[in-house]
Amino acid sequence: MASDSTKILKVFYCYAHRDKVWRDALERHLEPMRRLHQIITWYDRHIEAGVEWKKEIEAHLNTSNIILILVSHNFLYSDYCYGIEMQRALERHKAGEARVIPIILRPAEWKETPLGELQALPTNGKPITSWRNRDEAFQDIAREIHNVVRTLLAQPQNRSGSALPFSIKSLTLRVLYPDIAEEWDPLENTLTPDNIDATSEQTVWWRCIANSSHKWQATISSRVEGYRCPVCTKKSVTDVMIPFGNGLRHERQSQGWSIYQVAERLEVPTNTLAGWEKGDFMPTPMMLRRICVLYGKTPKELGWPEE
Ligand SMILES: [Zn+2]
């Protein structure tokens, strides 16, 4: 059955803060599903200052379709994670409202807990740290979660009990397009990416990620479809984008990596990477951070234009 492309599932991460690096790694492996708009993800870093965090966590836990429990001794010994979040997650799983998937990070005594009754990932519950190649462990996890996502999206919507997928129309710009939300101009707009719909036709102000003095107005839909900073894309190609592209190509070549290898590591299509290197367009701040990590350079060292 084909899945409904206007529906999206919410994935909740239940994890101990000490396991944050694992959550980050898993998030990167689930990124392709986020880009396909099959899932949105939620974890406690999304809590804004001043919000009562326990209520906020509970609200998201209660509306998620898939709950990933990152299992380690840190998790099992946390009263909040194990005692409160996990119990609520299991109640929803038993009621058929949500799918709970334990992700086994490292060896721990989880099989004796109620988690032992669930189908854990990686396959057969073999902890990620026990795999010789951790990328393969993450790949295994991502593939299985993708299967669950496809199944849930293909289910008839009126199936009793299970939480309904979200309609893309009801999501905010920040949730659906976090990269583009970073170009939102906080000074010129009265609304924020957190309270405007991602599918809104409203015209708003954008602020260039390469140079914050570049501002332009465009509807949200045209920005989503690729209408970027008019200054950078027209007038100053030679000043800004070509040097940055050259910097990127230089880094890649000095590492001895092919365009395919780097595109795969960054999880972008090869023509996107080629476009950056040619100076046709610029990466979003989120992508820039990943590029910097990959090459071990600061944005400035890569030729990223200064403010
Ligand atoms: Zn610009």
Could you report the per-residue pLDDT of 50-106, keeping only the tens digit for each?
Answer: 667 788 888 888 889 999 999 999 999 988 888 889 999 999 999 988 999 999 999
pLDDT of residue 89: 95
| Cis peptide preceding 269, ω within 30 of 0 | no
Angle at 114 between CA 110 and CA 117, to 5 degrees: 90
What is the rounded CA–CA span in Å between residue 198 and residue 241?
28
What is the rounded CA–CA span in Å between residue 153 and residue 161?
15
3-class secondary structure, 155: coil
CA distances from 125 to 70, 122, 131 (A): 12, 5, 11
Between the CA of 284 and the centroid of ligand 1 the distance, in Å, is: 12
What is the rounded CA–CA span in Å between residue 121 and residue 146?
12
Q: Which residues surround ligand 1, an ion (CB under 5 A)?
A: 208, 210-211, 214, 229, 231-232
pLDDT band for position 238 (cuts 50, 70, 90): low
Between the CA of 231 and the centroid of ligand 1 the distance, in Å, is: 5
State CA 91 to chain mean position distance.
26
Between the CA of 190 and the centroid of ligand 1 the distance, in Å, is: 22
Between the CA of 234 and the centroid of ligand 1 the distance, in Å, is: 9
Looking up tokens 């807990």 gives: 113
pLDDT of residue 169: 72
Q: Determine whether 262 is exposed, middle or buried from the number of CB atoms within 10 Å of its CB (0-12, 13-18, 19+).
A: buried
pLDDT of residue 231: 78
pLDDT of residue 1: 42
φ and ψ of 71, to 5 deg:
-95, 125
Between the CA of 96 and the centroid of ligand 1 the distance, in Å, is: 49
Q: Give the pLDDT confidence of 138-171 residue by residue, as tens digits.
A: 999 999 999 999 998 887 765 555 566 777 777 8
Predicted confidence (pLDDT) at residue 2 exceeds the cutoff of 50: no
The closest alpha carbon to 63, from 40, 82, 31, 37, belongs to: 40
Between the CA of 193 and the centroid of ligand 1 the distance, in Å, is: 20
Domains in the chain: ranges and CATH:
7-168 (3.40.50.10140), 171-233 (no CATH), 236-295 (1.10.260.40)
Show the tokens assigned to 219: 């509807």
Between the CA of 206 and the centroid of ligand 1 the distance, in Å, is: 10
Partners of residue 70 on adjacent β-strands? 103
What is the rounded CA–CA span in Å between residue 90 and residue 97?
10
Between the CA of 214 and the centroid of ligand 1 the distance, in Å, is: 5
Q: Give the pLDDT confidence of 110-120 residue by residue, as tens digits.
A: 999 999 999 99
Between the CA of 211 and the centroid of ligand 1 the distance, in Å, is: 5
State CA 231 to chain mean position distance.
29
Between the CA of 140 and the centroid of ligand 1 the distance, in Å, is: 40
What is the rounded CA–CA span in Å between residue 208 and residue 229?
6
Contact present, 202 and 216 (Cβ < 8 Å): no
Provide mean pLDDT across the span 13-40: 90
Predicted confidence (pLDDT) at residue 4 exceeds the cutoff of 70: no
Provide mean pLDDT across the span 229-235: 73
Question: 242-255 vs 285-295: helix axis angle to the nearest 10?
Answer: 30
Name which residue leads in pLDDT, 239 or 56.
56
3-class secondary structure, 296: coil
Q: Give the pLDDT confidence of 169-227 residue by residue, as tens digits.
A: 778 888 888 888 989 999 999 999 988 888 888 889 999 888 888 898 888 877 887 77
